[in-house]
Amino acid sequence: MKIAVIGATGLVGTQMLAVLKERNFKYNELLLVASERSAGKKMIYNGKEYTVIGMQDAVNQRPDIALFSAGGTTSLEWAPKFAEVGTTVIDNSSAWRMSPEHKLIVPEINASELSSTDKIIANPNCSTIQLVMALAPLHQKYDIKRVVISTYQSVTGTGKVAVDQLMNERNGADGPKAYPHQIDMNVLPHIDVFTENLYTKEEMKMVNETKKILSAPKIALTATAVRLPVMGGHSESVNVEFHKPFELKEIPELLSAMPGVIVQDDIANNIYPMPLNSHNRDEVFVGRIRRDESIENGLNLWIVADNLRKGAATNAVQIAEYLVNAKLVG
């Protein structure tokens, strides 16, 4: 088993390496891959020194699985080249997510859709992953009619430059800017670029990807994505309207039974999900579970997860684990 991590020097790439180690993913050879300007650099991983290699070198070595986290442009150019030599690509960018020919996978929900012919597999958007982890068991029982999402997203979702901007502003230092405005002590209702319908790409990703993952094109969704000066993970306020009636006490039971979901909903003791507590965790945390009394069959949820873990790296590694266990690669 030969594994390549594409974008190994980035925030998500380093998390992928951490998750591979934590989950004891078995491989015989590991390739750390980055852009040509990073090729030749040395990295210490799991007690061993590696030399970072470039993309073509990695293709020539024909890895069994390539975990991609290098941006959409790189994925569009290089994922097909890996696929052509027999590598199964698990891509963390938005490049392939809405392609009808490619699967969009959250393992707990739809890994069974995968086959050995899937050579480019899309990893969903971080905000989408934590959303569908909570929605999937509820949709299965109550049939979701409409979802309204407001996100509260960590600067880590933008990358190292954004983290540096926040810390520089906090410390009164100058430096490169990831955002058009100050992020420290501020809230930006602007994630990714604005589109013709006045929504951002991030907001439309959540709408379109959720429908695809749940195989539910008729669900009505709308989203507002907001960036906060937070480090530990993404939070979401989610309002759900079902076609079918529900008993409120059933909701925590259904969510708790979902693999990878933890219910934290003890308001008497001020226990509810927070990004501070989700940091470096792989689970999706759900709380503030309450009926929406303004509509029939309405529910409110608060959903939190570490966007670099389950929202990116962990989900990708879980896909790789499924492929190996189902003997779809190797």
Those residues with Cβ within 8 angstroms of residue 226's Cβ, 6 or more apart along the chain or in another chain? 150, 151, 152, 153, 187, 188, 189, 191
* Reduced DSSP (H G I as helix, E B as strand, rest coil) percent helix, strand, coil of the chain, to 5: 35, 25, 40
Q: Which residues contact 85 (CB under 8 A, 6 or more apart)?
A: 59, 62
**How far is it, in rounded angstroms, from Cα 302 to Cα 319?**
26
Give residue 227's Cα distance to chain centre: 16
- Quote the tokens at residue 262: 């933890």
Q: Which positions are catalytic?
A: 126, 234
Q: Which residues pair with 237 in a beta bridge?
A: 150, 302
Residue position matching structure tokens 């380093």? 14
